[in-house]
Structure 1
Amino acid sequence: MKPMIKSPLQIARASYQPKLPTALKGNVVLKEGAATESVADQADIKTLFPNTYGMPLISFEAGVKKEYPAVAAGVILSGGQAPGGHNVICGLFDGLKALNPNNKLYGFLAGPSGLVDHNYIELTKEIVDEYRNTGGFDIIGSGRTKLEEEWQYDKGTEICKKLGINAIVIIGGDDSNTNACVLAEYYSQKKTGIQVIGCPKTIDGDLKNEMIETSFGFDTACKVYSELIGNIQRDANSAKKYWHFIRLMGRSASHITLECALQSQPNICIVSEEVEAKNQTLNDVVDDIIKVIVHRAEHGLNFGTILIPEGLIEFIPAVKKLISELNDLLAHNEDFNALNTDEEKRQYVKGMLSPVSAEVYRSLPKGIAKQLTLDRDPHGNVQVSLIETEKLLIEMVAKRLAQLKAEGSYKGKFSALNHFFGYEGRCAIPSNFDADYTYSLGYTASVLISEGKTGYMSSVRNLTAPAAEWIAGGVPITMMMNMEKRHGKMKPVIQKALVQLDGAPFQYFAKHRESWGDEKSSYIYPGPIQYYGPTEVCDQPTRTLLLEQEK
């Protein structure tokens, strides 16, 4: 085999030893807390998950040495990539081997489909060592297959029995961990002896609660995007001639956009949750942008930066109602799918919508309206990442500024450039924070497995403290669940965490944004992620976490 060529940074990172909470450095004892209940719809969730509902919170403390029987575990990377996924597997592998050298770890290839299709490899030290502290999910690959059918669960049972696998670890976001919860319940009901543990992954940052302070990958991705935004702001401040409309990943929540604003201090930042709370229209959003552009133009500043969350269009109340109707209307709609032309589809949709939504649909540019009726994502929702909201806003802003110029109330020059930052951050080499956090999550999962737990998500908390003071343990996945409509039916899912408008991160932003938008430059230039140097440069968590924990 041809040897892999590595960069100097890759070689250096291979020798980095992630930090662990003190409780995980030696012998561990489990402390159980009070029984839990779901975040909402308690009766429905309890009925659907009779075997895994109401389990206690678990925390780890230093304890006496304990002998664990040998186990075999399988691991699955599910959904989109996030920095640190490899270190979850490394921590899981190291933890299993530390608890019993005879433990084995198998990786199911290409996501959940690997479990169903019996596509796997045994993860050895030689394989795992090649991926320590690296970005990406390429050690075993990922996929978006949903585990929803009993025949899929049964196929998983077959391969687990064949390989002697006692537990499956699913590394994913809210939907993937919802699948983990369903799988754990099914295997408990069928008494298969197969445990299921989840790990919280998503750069979007919307898998969080009091026990999951942040999802892994969020820190690294936001630092990557903030570097790019800072670079653009330095260029804008130098060239002094472009307005940069920057759309950032985050379909269901604006955590990435808000965090990047806190790190870079752009002239304008739109937070979807605020737009919805204020019941704003698309024109209202444009008016807010216009005010800042006109104000800066009055001081000769015809440039700036605007951050736009990917999911903005879904949070505009009138459009949100339209999308909800479209999701229900187009779910498994054979009549619609049989239509040949865009115009036929457009007329069909207009005829089926409520009068209010039909009016909103007619008011949208045809390109945007078409994007709302394209193929749905695996969860039956509009693929908002395909909607180029930044281009829509540029078009609307330019049109409005032209009207103001004709009226004599705007004398500036408007030239705009559009950007979308998403994939640039998903497989970056993880920051020290994410490298440590993910390794701890994987190590925590190994203890939960060895202690016979199922239906839990690996949890590491107190994340603004030094890693030695982090608190490791487990959270029942049912604790995070509620009922939501998917594909036109009510289903149990993990509740997404949106930006809290009364929370410290947004309140800090709201207090300072007016000054960021005025004629005085407030730009911050974060620069690239640093891995070696003073801890205040290399090991800091996100501004969101620091503000939430009043640091």
Structure 2
Amino acid sequence: MMKKVAVLTSGGDAPGMNAVIRAVVRTALHYGFEAYGVHNGYKGLVENDIVKMDRNDVGQILNRGGTILGSSRLPEFKQKEVRQIAVDNLNKLGIDALVVIGGDGTYRGGMDLNKMGINVIAIPGTIDNDIASTEYTIGFFTALDTAIDAIDKLRDTSFSHRRCTVVEVMGRDCGDLSIYSGIACGAEIVVTKETGFNKDQVIKKVQAAEQMGKRHVIIVVAENITDVSKLAAEIDKKTNYTSRATVLGYIQRGGTPSSFDRILASKMGVRAIELLRQNKGGLAIYTNSMEIGECEISEALKAKDEITDLYSYLPKLN
């Protein structure tokens, strides 16, 4: 039976990661494991930045955003010889189990380590909600709340000044943050990778809103779709709205995790240790209809995210 387990956070930070760390460490200790924390993700594994942790090390972190262990990206981890350094460091400490928290890049690193003899459990921690095997990722709803709060404030000033506001929301290649925040804030237009982008159609919709007598228009655009400043400038020229662009950026990553994310993180962290107690590895935790389950990491990476039916609501609501 495994006796030592380590935990790391990798890739972009997400609210709720600390709640997972807390759950992993305390559940491990409850079952008689020794618990270790790896600083700065896979980089810390390679640099042997691994420390033993006890209950007090994860006290007072449940409500903190970010990650106390730190996070980083290490492209070189794709190289087997680099991963071997990490495996050797774990073996020297007698650590044969690892919980990794992050997005798809984190999953791939964990899957590769599992093939090299380390029992790995992957937990989805990313604000983008872009792990298709799970209904929701840890951090998504907190980031969503942050985006909604910002867009609500922008709508107030947009209404006051008869303005069209173009808001760029994070999400990388997944439009969930944009579509969820767009519906929650009553945006007239939402543009994501899934919807596609046609500048002329967007401008026509803004012009139609103007003809309907709307005092303001909110356009939510997922990142990496278009230059929102240039789009706003063109709308400004072709309509009577004063148009402004706002990029929410990394403000969406920070902040106190929501109750949902704290509970989801805690449940997933406990499940990870329970699986390791059974000597299982190479698995990814997921949630489906609020039930926690697990699948092979390889299957989690193969899963395709279906376009949410939320997109069909926009035309009816506007």
TM-score by length of 2: 0.93
Equivalent residues in 2 for 1:150-161, closer than 5 Å: 150-161=80-91
Is residue 228 from structure 1 mapped to residue 160 from structure 2 by the alignment?
no
Q: CA RMSD in A?
A: 1.9
1:445 to 255, 262, 272: 272
Contact persistence 1:440–1:460 (CA under 8 A): no
For residues 429 and 240 of structure 1, what CA distance do their matches in structure 2 show? 32
Compare 301-310 and 168-177 and name the one that shifted more: 301-310
Could you tell me which of 201, 212, 223 is aligned with 1:288?
Answer: 201
Residue in structure 2 matched with residue 307 of structure 1 by the alignment: 220
**How far apart are 1:213 and its partner, in Å?**
1.3
1:269 Cα deviation (Å)? 1.5
- What is the SS of the residue equivalent to 2:195? helix
**Is 2:87–2:116's contact at 8 Å kept on the other side of the alignment?**
no
> Which residue of the partner structure matches residue 393 of structure 1?
231
SS where residue 244 of structure 1 aligns? strand
Q: Output the CA distance in 2 between the equivalents of 1:460 and 1:302.
A: 41
- Aligned to 2:168, what secondary structure does the other structure show? strand
Identity of aligned residues (%): 25
Alignment partner, residue 62 of structure 1? none
Structure 1: distance between partners of 2:62 and 2:235: 46
SS of equivalent to 2:275: helix
Which of residues 130, 139, 142 is equivalent to 1:217?
Answer: 139
Q: How far apart are residue 258 of structure 1 and its match?
A: 0.3
Query: In the alignment, what sits opposite 1:91?
Result: 23
Shift of 1:70: 6.1
Aligned equivalent of 2:297 = 477
* Distance across 1 between alignment mates of 2:27 and 2:293: 14
Contact 2:132–2:301 (CA under 8 A) maintained in structure 1: no
Supply the distance in 2 between the matched residues of 1:161 and 1:253 (Cα, whole angstroms): 37
Give the secondary-structure state (helix, strand or coil) at the position aligned to 1:176: helix
Q: Is the 8 A contact 1:83 1:216 kept in 2?
A: yes
Residue 143 of structure 1 aligns to a residue in which SS?
Answer: coil
What is the rounded CA distance, in whole Å, between the counterparts of 1:298 and 1:458 in structure 2? 49
1:244 paired residue among 165, 172, 195: 165
1:539 maps to which residue?
none
Residues 314-365 of structure 1, C-alpha deviations (whole Å, 9 max, x = no match) = xxxxxxxxxxxxxxxxxxxxxxxxxxxxxxxxxxxxxxxxxxxxxxxxxxxx
Match of 1:534 in 2: none
- How much has 1:299 moved relative to structure 2? 4.9
2:187 equivalent in structure 1 = 266
Find the residue that maps to 2:200 and give its secondary structure.
helix
The residue that corresponds to 2:57 in the other structure is 127
What's the CA shift string for 1:259-315, capped at 9, x where partnerless? 10121111221232122xxxx6xxxx22222223323333554532110111324xx
Question: Does 1:117 find its partner at 2:38?
Answer: no
Structure with larger Rg: 1
Q: Shift of residue 398 of structure 1?
A: 3.5
Would the alpha carbon gap of residues 270 and 449 (structure 1) be closer, same or farther in structure 2, given more than 3 Å must change? same
**What count of residue pairs does the alignment treat as equivalent?**
317
User: Runs of 4+ in structure 1 displaced over 6 angstroms?
Assistant: none
Written as runs of structure 1 = structure 2, the 5 A alignment for 1:176-215 is 176-187=106-117, 194-209=118-133, 212-215=134-137
Post-superposition shift, 1:182? 1.6
Structure 2 residue runs without a partner (length 5+):
none
CA distance change for structure 1 residues 157 and 297 in 2, over 3 Å: closer, same or farther? closer
CA distance in 2, matches of 1:217, 1:70: 30
Query: SS at the partner of 2:116?
Result: helix
Q: Which whole-Å CA distance do the structure 2 matches of 1:426 and 1:481 have between them?
A: 23
Aligned to 1:174: 104
For residues 188-245 of structure 1, what are the alpha-carbon distances to aligned partners after superposition, in whole Å with 9 as ceiling and x for unaligned? Answer: xxxxxx2111111211111123xx21111111101110111112112222x1332111
- AA of the residue aligned to 1:287: D
Is this contact kept in 2: 1:253–1:311, CA < 8 A?
Answer: no
Asked if residue 426 in structure 1 is aligned to residue 253 in structure 2, the reply is yes
Displacement of 1:129 after TM fit? 0.3
Structure 1 counterpart of 2:314 = 509
| Equivalent position SS for 1:274 | coil
| Aligned residue identity for 1:431 | S
CA 1:232–1:395: 2 relative to 1, 3 Å = closer
Q: For 1:143 and 1:510, how far apart are their aligned partners in 2?
A: 40
Q: In the alignment, does 2:73 pair up with 1:144?
A: yes
C-alpha distance in 2, partners of 1:481/1:70?
A: 26
State the distance in 2 between where 1:70 and 1:110 align.
24
1:517-536 CA-to-partner distances (Å, cap 9, x unmatched) read xxxxxxxxxxxxxxxxxxxx
Secondary structure of 1:430's partner? coil
Q: Which runs of 5+ in 1 are unaligned?
A: 1-68, 188-193, 314-388, 402-411, 464-470, 483-494, 516-551
1:445-497 deviations in Å (ceiling 9; x for gaps): 1111111111101234322xxxxxxx333211121344xxxxxxxxxxxx563
How many Å separate the matches in 2 of 1:435 and 1:481?
A: 24
The whole-number CA distance in structure 1 between the counterparts of 2:174 and 2:286 is 21
8 Å contact from structure 1 (residues 272, 309) kept in 2 = yes
Going from structure 1 to structure 2, the CA distance change for 1:432 and 1:98 (only over 3 Å counts) comes to same
Q: CA deviation at 1:429?
A: 0.8
Between the aligned partners of 1:510 and 1:218, the Cα distance in structure 2 is: 24
